[in-house]
Structure 1
Amino acid sequence: MNPISLFFLAMAMSTDAFAAALGKGASLHNPRLSEALRTGLIFGVIEAITPVIGWSIGQVASQYVERWDHWIAFTLLLVLGLHMIYNGLQHDDESVEKPSQHSFLILAVTAFATSIDALAVGVGLAFIDVNIWVAAASIGLATTVMVTIGVMLGRVLGNAVGKRAEMIGGVVLMLVGAAILYEHLTV
């Protein structure tokens, strides 16, 4: 995977966490940078671990599907991208009471929920030539930065931008999948 595709993959993987961080930041009164960094690190570490787990699962299966690997990666990224767009289009009609602070457990559960797509992407990455450690570190770093920024911007921007960010992330995922397919079909 070329560095540009890796950059866009990392950014796409962090958009759902960014959307969640906007909500977390919006639910706090004047969040401090230390709270934003704490939240970013929790999300970033979890988001970096999940593609490695997915990649490990994909490595076991890769020998059986080597001829179809690029199609599998493309399909996974396409489905995940469409799912992110679908989630971004959903209306949130429920009113949730805002917490006064975020516990580690709540942040970890939220981070895990937003990293499920990174697990599936990790499976897809097992089928292409990519250094999973560089990809996972890139995803984790991008998520840490995006979540930290998201928490700080959350009180200003709120949920409207969060939904748009998730939809943009879905489109970027689909474009990364198309680039992978294109690279393999033109070789």
Structure 2
Amino acid sequence: MDVSAYMGQFLTLLIIAVALGFDAFSLGLGIGLKGIRLVDIVKLGTVIGLFHILMPIGGLLTGQLVSGLLGSVATTAAGILLLLLGGHMIYSSIRGEEVPTFNHRSSLGLFVLALSVSVDAFSVGVTMGMFSADLWLTILLFGFFGGMMSMLGLLLGRKVSSKLGEYGEACGGAILMVFGLLFIV
């Protein structure tokens, strides 16, 4: 892969990682508003970051399999998947869905919380697998931004109103929809 193609892939993955991070940010913001200790912020952010690594790996492997089966149709399918995922994120933010309440101090609550915010990373991983995206670059960017943006949301949630969470998820959904359209066109 030449340098310009790699930089294009890096920029695309970076923007998608930030878009996915907005979902983790909005969840963190909602939880942070309810009050959370700093040690729990670090623990929760780390686990969410880890899930933003593991889920795309499964998605990338699934996407590579689907790409092999679908061939040239894979690009359109990937674009449609991103459009649907982005649309769902925007719809959820408009509906004003409440942040689910989990006991983030219990192992089960932490697992469910991290899994719920990382499901989108699996779906995007499927899309990236259809394009044979660089595995290490994808999981490192997704993991870093998922973990850091959830920590930022948790920290900021201690200070601001819940309205930012809704805008964060809608912004992330809009970014995914734009990439979906670009993949289709």
**TM-score of Structure 1 vs Structure 2, range by shorter chain:** 0.7 to 0.9
1:67-123: CA deviation from partner (whole Å, max 9, x where unpaired): 11211111110000000000001134x798896x63332122111111111111111
- TM normalised by structure 1 equals 0.86
Contact 2:30 2:157 in 1 (8 A): yes
CA distance in 2, matches of 1:78, 1:95: 23
CA distance in 2, matches of 1:178, 1:96: 30
Residue in 2 aligned with 1:118? 121
Residue in 1 aligned with 2:74? 69
Q: 1:13 aligns with which of 10, 13, 20?
A: 20
Residue in 2 aligned with 1:156? 159
1:28-76: CA deviation from partner (whole Å, max 9, x where unpaired): 25x32x3222111010101111111011122222212121121111111
When residues 3 and 109 of structure 1 are mapped into structure 2, their CA distance, relative to the original with a 3 A threshold, is: same
Q: Is the aligned partner of 1:179 residue 2:182?
A: yes
Contact 1:19 1:162 in 2 (8 A): yes
CA RMSD of aligned residues (A): 2.2
The percentage of counterpart residues that share the same residue type is 29
Residue in 2 aligned with 1:54? 59
Large movers: runs of 4+ above 4 Å: 94-99
SS at match of 1:63: helix
Residue in 2 aligned with 1:102? 105
1:110-151: CA deviation from partner (whole Å, max 9, x where unpaired): 111111111111111111131122111100100111011111
SS at match of 1:64: helix
Amino acid at match of 1:3: F
CA distance in 2, matches of 1:42, 1:73: 27
Amino acid at match of 1:177: G
Aligned length, in residue pairs = 178
